């Protein structure tokens, strides 16, 4: 999106909110600005990546309460690194054919309205972030490891082009111990234009408890890449126990993407130190992608790290990741280095500073 386009969208939003609230005080009273960015240094021995400083993520969100029932949300994002992971777009961690000539620019990431029908129901319409699972649903600012699990994003996983999609979602808010239930219909092309008549359907059930969270998600539809449509479907489940001081989270997903059956999971342990400023974490994950008996890929690896809260809006994370890919034949989306035959190792040490504002 061009800078002129960004300015025009922003100006239109502010003028609309101003007109809607002109008779009820200043429009500025109904608009809030928030966001965060992550800057990172990574030392890696992967030949298709670089030891580098990078602005990994930048999100700026404008939220406007037009009236007591309607909220409008626009998010601008810059998501890196500059080496594009996969032809056609992607986010975080180079896992497919890297294109060093293709960088990222500011983009319209989210743009939707949330209309509340009483206390129990709400409708979201526009370009909306996914409700799928745990790591796909949550923003990167609350995740302890640098990147989402491979089955969710970088494998490539079911959201390898990012969380948003264009459609309509109906939400039933929980009453007492009831779950949050979401039903949606969308293009299924992420932030790209729709290239076929098929629509994706997704359903999510989420429980919140004092001790943690658990839930399940399902989606079914198609994805068009390079003019060809293929099935994109997934079933996922998760459980999280908040660290008090020990905690854990586990997430699993299984489905079909880019012509291959894909499944994976991760198990993450967490320990919140008594100083309330440091959280130690360790994660083990597996990922599998099978086209047929002769073309398949698998990954297993572990990550250890510590997240240190510098102040209320700042956090420094140090992380070490070690993993191995194994490849037979060719699998769509799996890294260029692996496609040379046999497999490759993932070995990196990094430090990240995150700053949030609101």
- Tell me the residue ranges of DSSP E strands in the chain: 31-44, 52-65, 70-79, 107-117, 121-129, 164-172, 180-186, 200-208, 212-225, 228-241, 246-257, 260-272, 278-292, 295-311, 314-328, 342-357
Asked if the model's pLDDT at residue 248 lies above 50, the reply is yes
Question: How far is the C-alpha of 326 from the C-alpha of 226, rounded, in Å?
Answer: 26
Omega before residue 245 within 30° of 0, cis: yes
Q: What is the pTM of this model?
A: 0.84
Asked if the model's pLDDT at residue 341 lies above 70, the reply is no
Asked if the model's pLDDT at residue 92 lies above 50, the reply is no
Bridge partners for 257 per DSSP: 260
Asked if the model's pLDDT at residue 130 lies above 80, the reply is yes
At 155, the pLDDT band (50, 70, 90 cuts) reads: confident
The pLDDT value given to residue 91: 44
Q: 200-208 and 260-272 as β-strands: parallel, antiparallel, unpaired?
A: unpaired
More confident residue, 327 or 208: 208
Q: What's the average model confidence in pLDDT over 314-338?
A: 85
The pLDDT value given to residue 315: 95
Percentage of residues of the chain with pLDDT beyond 70: 82
The pLDDT value given to residue 119: 85
The pLDDT value given to residue 240: 98
The pLDDT value given to residue 242: 96
Question: How far is the C-alpha of 141 from the C-alpha of 6, rounded, in Å?
Answer: 23
Q: What's the average model confidence in pLDDT over 12-29?
A: 56
Question: How far is the C-alpha of 138 from the C-alpha of 358, rounded, in Å?
Answer: 18
CA-closest candidate to residue 289, choices 313, 321, 325: 325
The pLDDT value given to residue 53: 87
Question: How far is the C-alpha of 313 from the C-alpha of 358, rounded, in Å?
Answer: 9
Residue ranges and CATH numbers for the domains of the chain are: 3-357 (2.40.160.10)
**Whether the Cβ atoms of residue 78 and residue 60 lie closer than 8 Å to each other:** no
Q: Encode pLDDT of 37-89 as tens digits.
A: 999 999 988 766 667 888 888 999 999 987 888 999 999 998 754 433 433 33
Question: How far is the C-alpha of 354 from the C-alpha of 129, rounded, in Å?
Answer: 21
Question: How far is the C-alpha of 86 from the C-alpha of 97, rounded, in Å?
Answer: 6
Taking phi over 0 as left and psi of -120 to 50 as alpha, with beta for the rest, 163 belongs to: alpha
Q: What's the average model confidence in pLDDT over 23-49?
A: 80
Task: Write b or e for each residue in 277-295: b if 16 or more Cβ atoms lie within 10 A of its Cβ, otherwise e.
Answer: eebbbbbbbbbbbbbeeeb
């Amino acid at each position: 999106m061009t800078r002129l386009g960004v300015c025009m969208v922003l100006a239109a939003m502010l003028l609309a909110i101003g007109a809607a609230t002109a008779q009820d005080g200043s429009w500025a009273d109904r608009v809030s600005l928030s966001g965060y960015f992550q800057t990172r240094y990574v030392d890696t021995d992967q030949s298709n990546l670089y030891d580098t400083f990078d602005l990994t993520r930048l999100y700026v969100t404008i939220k406007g309460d037009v009236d007591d029932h309607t909220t409008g949300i626009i998010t601008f994002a810059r998501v890196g690194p500059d080496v594009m992971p996969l032809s056609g777009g992607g986010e975080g961690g180079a896992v497919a054919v890297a294109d060093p000539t293709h960088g990222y620019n500011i983009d319209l990431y989210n743009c939707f309205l949330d209309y509340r029908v009483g206390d129990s129901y709400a409708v979201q319409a526009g370009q909306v972030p996914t409700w799928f699972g745990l790591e796909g649903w949550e923003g990167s600012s609350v995740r302890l490891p640098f990147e989402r699990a491979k089955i969710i994003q970088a494998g490539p996983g079911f959201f390898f082009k990012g969380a948003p999609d264009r459609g309509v979602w109906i939400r039933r808010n929980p009453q007492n111990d009831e779950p949050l239930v979401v039903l949606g219909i969308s293009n299924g092309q992420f932030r790209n234009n729709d290239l076929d008549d098929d629509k994706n359907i997704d359903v999510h059930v989420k429980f919140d408890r004092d001790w943690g969270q658990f839930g399940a998600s399902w989606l079914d539809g198609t994805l068009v890449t390079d003019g060809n449509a293929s099935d994109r479907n997934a079933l996922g489940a998760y459980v999280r126990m908040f660290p008090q001081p020990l905690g854990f989270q586990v997430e699993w997903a299984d489905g079909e993407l880019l012509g291959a059956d894909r499944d994976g999971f991760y198990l993450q342990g967490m320990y919140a130190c008594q100083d309330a400023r440091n959280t130690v974490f360790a994660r083990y994950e597996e990922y599998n992608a099978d086209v047929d008996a002769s073309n398949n890929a698998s990954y297993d690896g572990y990550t250890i790290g510590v997240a240190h809260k510098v102040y209320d809006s700042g956090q420094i994370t140090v992380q070490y990741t070690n993993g191995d890919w194994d490849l037979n034949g060719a699998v769509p989306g799996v890294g260029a280095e692996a496609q040379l035959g046999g497999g490759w190792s993932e070995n990196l040490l990094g430090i990240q500073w995150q700053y949030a504002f609101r």
